[in-house]
Structure 1
């Protein structure tokens, strides 16, 4: 197992397949984009599948989520999914995406073995979407969501980040829309993972604020009081259910104590925390001829040193050198 010194066991693997993205969201990267990883530094398809296999068969991972950057930009994505779906025991396979291109690929991904998707969408207004992402592709995201639902990639989850004086007037509108379409909406507090290092705590829209705005329009009842487990989202029944809404409060209500995640970057580095400043290089081990057993040992050692918490509440907190697009969600 992947166990740390605090007794937490990592069973959820986030695999970044690329650091590239076809949006330029203001809270993630500058308008001109970033210096992408050179192709030789990226894990090959075979290397990705091998590391997922080691995680699943040797280290007890039961859930695998493919992320980016934007994972739909990865050539061979469906093949990677299909090969991972053939593993024994079979892990649950999911994808986090901005939804652009999902209308074309949802059916093939479902056929390959993908179980479900999370789609990022911060606004229902096309003009606001264009200002936030610096791209006029709102319609494509909505089409991707529809295609995912029709392909059976359910539950279809929608992730929304609210930003003060930008889209913080939309939570009730977003929730009403999600309930109407059968999507599972989750609001996420903006985290200090932007490439510009411009995040400011006082500008962040907090979970408490989001819930107050939702409660003005909906009746919210805790879904499982005291039984959150390792799930990052606290969830509430909307108007008695069955619809729910979730809030991921990584900053104001951290869930580090129950964290069960391990992360693999597109260039083969293991990160034991989203906010870690240290990484363990598995790519070099793979390319130097390391056995599965040796790679697994490196991964276990990386997990063992996981800190008790993210350190976000510490005044001395330093943002990770890598932005979210390079780490993987």
Structure 2
């Protein structure tokens, strides 16, 4: 199993399959991106993804999260889900999406083996949602969530980036949303990246504000699972759903890190906020997994104990669409 010099074991791969996104979220890609074929020409191929996932699985990876950009812009997303699920050793296949294609495609994703979906919804107010994303698609996305629940998808979560002046006054709406729905709503602290320092300074808000309220209202924290992501999960007996908090600026956030990232162009990210990325694409041109495994085993030795966000160093990550957060 992949183990770093701090004795952290890595069982969770976040795999970006494209950097392009059709939304224009203020904190990530306010100017949008080119979503045409040329912008996606250098994305990993299906064969390259198969070879990559095989090598990671042989080194103990048990969970694959497919991210972007917006992964559903790839027409072969269902095939990617299926190949990940069919790889020996992989137990969980998850997807992070903006949800705009869920009503059309979630049935196919589920049939291909999808175990979990996280949908980005930064506001439940239609006007604010359009202001943040540039699209008036909240109702369709909510319908897609309902369809995922009807299918019986084992894990359904909503991701919301916590932002001052955008949704810091919307906690009542978020709590009402999970009162009757078996969905976890996760608040994610706004993170500084290379392209958003001024936005970050204006809108960052500590998740401690939310946790203080949850505890006052009787919410309790769950124990963290082996292959869980970084969220602190809270539950309440009067609610069908839960609340999760992802707080990268909190003390010891990196102590339990169990995940690695690979970009849509085959670059290994030992951390979301490293200064340099290591390309392994040249090793994905053969079906032999041994060179990829050897590369990963050597690379993991160079993983730092922590990111350096507290020093306002976001590394080489210009925006989160590069690697899916």
TM over 0.5: yes
The structure-2 alpha-carbon separation of the partners of 1:32 and 1:108, relative to structure 1 and needing over 3 Å to count, comes to closer
Residue 220 of structure 1: aligned partner: 219
Mapped pair 1:259 → 2:260? no
Residue 106 of structure 1: aligned partner: 106
Residue 313 of structure 2: aligned partner: 317
* Cα-Cα RMSD: 2.3
- How far apart are the structure 1 equivalents of 2:4 and 2:49? 23
- How far apart are the structure 1 equivalents of 2:87 and 2:273? 30
Structure 1 stretch displaced more, 191-200 or 143-152:
191-200
Contact 2:183 2:242 in 1 (8 A): no
Tell me the matched-pair count. Answer: 323
- How far apart are the structure 1 equivalents of 2:87 and 2:317? 34
Contact 2:22 2:35 in 1 (8 A): no
1:223 deviates by 2.8
1:38 deviates by 4.2
1:194 deviates by 6.2
- How far apart are the structure 1 equivalents of 2:161 and 2:43? 28
1:250 deviates by 1.1
Residue 50 of structure 1: aligned partner: 51
Structure 1 residue runs of 5 or longer lacking an equivalent are none
Cα deviation, 1:37-95, whole Å, max 9, x if unaligned, reads: 84442110111111011111x21100001000011111111111112222222431010
The structure-2 alpha-carbon separation of the partners of 1:316 and 1:101, relative to structure 1 and needing over 3 Å to count, comes to closer
Residue 282 of structure 1: aligned partner: 280
- How far apart are the structure 1 equivalents of 2:238 and 2:141? 29
- How far apart are the structure 1 equivalents of 2:252 and 2:138? 31
Q: What secondary structure sits across from 2:198 in the alignment?
A: coil
Moved over 6 A (4+): 34-37
Residue 12 of structure 1: aligned partner: 12
The structure-2 alpha-carbon separation of the partners of 1:210 and 1:194, relative to structure 1 and needing over 3 Å to count, comes to farther
Contact 1:275 1:320 in 2 (8 A): yes
